[in-house]
Amino acid sequence: MSEERIQSFEAFWPYYVGEHRLPSCRGVHYLGSIAAPSVLIAALVTQTWWLAVLFPVFGYGPAWVGHFIIEKNRPATFTYPVWSLMADYKMLGLAVRGKMAAEVTRLYGSPRPAPDAPLLA
């Protein structure tokens, strides 16, 4: 039997955070979330159009390393691409403000919860 699909971004967010429990995974996501639009902007500003081809490599590459190698889970973008993109930037925004570890703790009880730690909130 297949799992029930998440129906809102509000319900998706705790799931997303649970798939990004390790700070190193979140770190490579931040790298991709900054690098991908930077490459796109560079392509536009310099009119070096071949750089635009690198946009998904810079965006998804670090994130997939974070999932497949660090977290050892499946990227949520395969199932929820729009919400995953939104959550990437929500996570980055919280990190820039120094609040992401607190968000992980709020939802899972620790800034670095175990893979089987239950959702608290």
Domain that holds residue 30: 21-108
pLDDT for 103 equals: 97
- Give the length of the chain: 121
In a domain? residue 115: no
Closest CA relative to residue 52, chosen from 37, 34, 33, 30: 37
pLDDT tens digits for range 39-96: 999 999 999 999 999 999 999 999 999 999 999 999 999 999 999 999 999 999 999 9
In a domain? residue 116: no
In a domain? residue 15: no
In a domain? residue 57: yes
Q: How many domains does one find in the chain? A: 1
pTM of the predicted structure, to 2 decimals: 0.90
Helix, strand, or coil here: 19? coil
pLDDT over 70, % of the chain: 98
Inform me whether the pLDDT recorded for 121 exceeds 90: no
In a domain? residue 7: no
Inform me whether the pLDDT recorded for 1 exceeds 70: no
CA distance 92 to 36: 13
In a domain? residue 72: yes
CA 90: distance to chain centroid? 9
**CA quadruple 63, 56, 77, 87: dihedral, nearest 10:** 70
